[in-house]
Structure 1
C-alpha cells in the first residue's frame, strides 16, 4: 500500500520533495495535497507536477484549511516547507492529528517553539524527521567514517569556515530570511546545517556557545561604503537595479516570475528586495565558539559576501590532523536550475598523521546535488528502509541540537555572554 503525503508551503524548496515523490518514488508513495497561503503559487506547483513530472494535479487547500486538509485527505506524512517561523505550527498540528512529519531545516527558530515541538512529539508519540542533506554527501559521510575509525585519535578541536559568495549569500538578504523573526538569522537558518555536521562528525552535542558578529556588508547602513548611490527597495520596476550586480530580475526568469512575481498580488511578498535596503535584521558576518559535551571545541565562522563558495574545516586530534576543502557550485534558491544546487566543483580530504607523511583520501561523488547527497537523502525519506552504519537519518533530537547552537548564538550576540544550551530547553532525550 502506498504511503500518502501532503505538503504545506509550495515555495522554492518544495519542489525538491514533491518532484521526487512524483518522479522517483511514485511506485511506493503518493502525493495527495498541497497547502499554502498563496493560491497562485499552489497553482504553479500543480502546473509543474503535470508538465514537468507528468503527475496528476493534487488537491489544494489554503493555509487556514490545514487541519481540514488532514481530516479530509488523511495523509500518512506531512512535509513542511513553509517560512521557518511557521514550521512549529504545522509540525504540531500534524502530529496532533495523527501524522508523521518531514520538515525542512531549521526545525524552528527559537527555544520556545522548539520546546513546543518536543512536547508535542512526547505527547503524541509520532515521528519527526529533519532533512539534513549535507550528512549524506559522500565526503561528509567519509569524514564521519575517518573520525570514527580512530585515525585522528580523540578530536580536541575543530576549525570550520563556511563561505557564501555574492550570488548565494546575497540571496538571503533579498527575501524573507532578511527578517530575523522569520528565519532566526543565518546562525539558525543556514548554520543549522553546519552545526549538525559537527554533531554528526564528532558524535556529541553542544554544551556552551559564544558568538560575535553583525551586519557588516549588506544593509542600508553599509550602502555608502559599498558605493551604492541610488537607493531602491526592490528590483522589479527599478531603473537603479538594472546596473546593480546584487539585484535579481524576477521578470527575466520564467520560473521565478511564475513562483513569485505573478503571486505577489495575493500576499505582497517581494522576492527581489535590495540587499542594501531597509528592513534587514540578520547578520552577514559571524564567529562562534562552541564547547561540546565530549570536551571538544569548535571555532566557526560564516561570511555571506565572499568571492568563493564552500567550506574549509580542520580537525585536530591526539594522533594527527585532518584538513578538508570543499568548493561548491553557487546558486540562487528556486532559480530554476535545481540540478546545480550544491554540486561539488572541488574537494580534498588530507590526513596529517602526528608521525608520518600526509596522504589524501579519495572520495567518489555520484549524480545529484551535494555530491550525490540529495538523492541519498530522498531515498532515505521515501524509499525502502535500509541499514546505515553512520545513522545519517536526522531525528527531532538532531534537529533541536543543531538549531539550539544557533539560538544560543543569537542570545550571545545580544548579551555578549556565553550561553549554556541546557539553560534554553530541557526535554526527555531517550
Structure 2
C-alpha cells in the first residue's frame, strides 16, 4: 500500500524531496498536499509539479490550516522543509495528529525545541527521521568502513576543516539564515552535517564542547575593510548592487524570481539582502573543540568566505592515519541547476599505516548528487530500503546529537566556557 505524504515549507530545499517522490517513487509513495505560509510559493510548487514533473497539481494549505490539512488529507508522513526555527512546530503537531515526520536537517535550532521534540516522540510513540544525505556519499561511507574495519586502529583525534566559498558561503548571509534565531547560526544549520559525520564515522557521541569565533568577514562592521563604501539593503532595484560581486540578481533567474521575488508581496521576505548590511548576527569564522565519550577529540573549523569549497580531514589512530581531501562544486541555494549541489570536483582518501607504505583508497561514484548518495537516501525515505551494514538512516536521536554539538558551541560562544552535552537535553534513552 502506498504511503501518503504532505510537505510543509515549499522553499529552496523542498523540491529535493517532492521532486524525487513524484518522479521516482510513484509505486510506493503519494504526495497529496503542500503547506506553506506563502500562497505564491505554494502555487509555484504546483506549477513545477505540472510543468517539470508532468504530474497533476495537488491541494495547497496555508500554514494556519496545517491541522485542517492533516484531517482532510490523512497523510502517513509529514515532510518538514520549512524555516529551521519552525521545524519543531510542525514535527510536534504532526506527531500529535498521528503522523510520522521526515525533517530536513537541522532537526531544530536550540535545546528547548530539541527537548520538546523528544518529549513529543516519547508521548505519542510516533517516528521522526532526519535527512543526513552526507552519510550516504560513497566517500563518507568508505571512511566509516575503514575506521570500522580497524585500518588505523582506535581513532584518538580528528582534525576537520570545512571551507565554504564566496558563492555558497555568502548565501547564508543574504537570506533568513543570517539571523541566529531562525537558523541557530552556521554551527547548527550547516555544521550539523559535519558533526553528524564525526558521530557516524567514530560511532560515538559528543561529551564536552568549546567554541570560539565571530563575524569577521561579512556584516556592516567589516564593510570598510572589504572596500565597501556604498550600502544597500537588498540587491533588487539597487544601482550599487550592480557592482557588488556578492549580490544576486533574482530578476534574471526564473527560479529565484518565481519562488522569492514574486512572493514578496505576501510576506515581505527579501532573499537578496546585502551580505554587508545590518541585521547579521551569525558567525562566519568558527573553531570548535569537542571531546567524545570514547575519549577521541575533534578540532573543527568553518570559514564561509574562502576561494574554494570542500573539506579536509585527518584521522589519527593507534595504527596510522587517514587523510581526506574533497573539493565540491559551489552553488547558490535554489539559484542553479539542482544537479550541481554536492557535485564532487575532486576527492582523495589516503591511508598512512604506522609501519607501511601510504596508499590511496578507490571509491566508486554513482549517478546523482553527493556522488550517488542522494538517490540512496531518497530510496531509504520513499522507496523500499535495502539492508544497510553501515546503518546510515538517521533517527531523531542522531538528529539531536548532531545539533547539540552546535547548540553547545553557541552556548560556549556566548559564555566563553566549555559546555557539557548532558546538561542541555534529556534524550530519554
With structure 1 as the length reference, what TM-score do the two structures score? 0.99
Aligned pairs for 1:330-345 within 5 A: 330-345=330-345
Using the TM superposition, give the Cα deviation of residue 230 of structure 1 relative to its aligned residue in structure 2, in angstroms.
Answer: 0.4
Aligned pairs for 1:251-330 within 5 A: 251-330=251-330
Task: Output one character per residue of 1:225-273: Cα deviation in whole Å (capped at 9) or x when no partner.
Answer: 0000100010000000001000000001000000000000000000000
> What does residue 121 of structure 2 align with?
121
Using the TM superposition, give the Cα deviation of residue 37 of structure 1 relative to its aligned residue in structure 2, in angstroms.
Answer: 0.3
Task: Output one character per residue of 1:161-214: Cα deviation in whole Å (capped at 9) or x when no partner.
Answer: 000000000000000000000000000000000000000000000000000000
User: 3-state DSSP class of the match of 2:291?
Assistant: strand
> What does residue 411 of structure 1 align with?
411
> What does residue 242 of structure 1 align with?
242
Using the TM superposition, give the Cα deviation of residue 28 of structure 1 relative to its aligned residue in structure 2, in angstroms.
Answer: 1.2
Contact 2:130 2:394 in 1 (8 A): yes
Contact 2:13 2:81 in 1 (8 A): yes
Aligned pairs for 1:61-140 within 5 A: 61-140=61-140
Q: Distance in 1 between matches of 2:390 and 2:135?
A: 9
CA-atom RMSD in angstroms: 0.5
Q: Distance in 2 between matches of 1:171 and 1:273?
A: 9
Task: Output one character per residue of 1:325-347: Cα deviation in whole Å (capped at 9) or x when no partner.
Answer: 00000000011410110100000
Q: Distance in 1 between matches of 2:372 and 2:269?
A: 33
Q: Distance in 2 between matches of 1:141 and 1:27?
A: 28
Task: Note if 1:147 corresponds to 2:141.
Answer: no
User: 3-state DSSP class of the match of 1:355?
Assistant: coil
Contact 1:170 1:304 in 2 (8 A): yes
Contact 2:260 2:270 in 1 (8 A): yes
With structure 2 as the length reference, what TM-score do the two structures score? 1.00
Q: Distance in 1 between matches of 2:351 and 2:51?
A: 48
User: 3-state DSSP class of the match of 2:163?
Assistant: strand
Q: Distance in 2 between matches of 1:195 and 1:67?
A: 34
Q: Distance in 2 between matches of 1:356 and 1:346?
A: 26
> What does residue 394 of structure 1 align with?
394
Contact 1:174 1:273 in 2 (8 A): yes
Q: Which moved more, 1:6-15 or 1:383-392?
A: 383-392
Q: Distance in 2 between matches of 1:336 and 1:375?
A: 19
Q: Distance in 2 between matches of 1:412 and 1:22?
A: 43
> What does residue 193 of structure 1 align with?
193
User: 3-state DSSP class of the match of 2:227?
Assistant: coil
Using the TM superposition, give the Cα deviation of residue 386 of structure 1 relative to its aligned residue in structure 2, in angstroms.
Answer: 1.5
Contact 1:256 1:336 in 2 (8 A): no
User: 3-state DSSP class of the match of 1:260?
Assistant: helix
Q: Distance in 2 between matches of 1:373 and 1:236?
A: 36
User: 3-state DSSP class of the match of 2:290?
Assistant: strand
Q: Distance in 1 between matches of 2:49 and 2:284?
A: 36
User: 3-state DSSP class of the match of 1:365?
Assistant: coil
Contact 2:397 2:427 in 1 (8 A): no
User: 3-state DSSP class of the match of 2:394?
Assistant: coil
Unaligned runs of 5+ in 2: none
> What does residue 42 of structure 2 align with?
42
User: 3-state DSSP class of the match of 1:388?
Assistant: coil
Contact 2:219 2:280 in 1 (8 A): yes
Task: Output one character per residue of 1:88-133: Cα deviation in whole Å (capped at 9) or x when no partner.
Answer: 0000000000001000000000000000000000111111000000
Using the TM superposition, give the Cα deviation of residue 27 of structure 1 relative to its aligned residue in structure 2, in angstroms.
Answer: 1.5
Using the TM superposition, give the Cα deviation of residue 365 of structure 1 relative to its aligned residue in structure 2, in angstroms.
Answer: 0.9
Using the TM superposition, give the Cα deviation of residue 427 of structure 1 relative to its aligned residue in structure 2, in angstroms.
Answer: 2.6
Using the TM superposition, give the Cα deviation of residue 4 of structure 1 relative to its aligned residue in structure 2, in angstroms.
Answer: 0.5
> What does residue 377 of structure 2 align with?
377
Aligned residue pairs, count: 429
Contact 1:13 1:81 in 2 (8 A): yes
User: 3-state DSSP class of the match of 1:323?
Assistant: strand
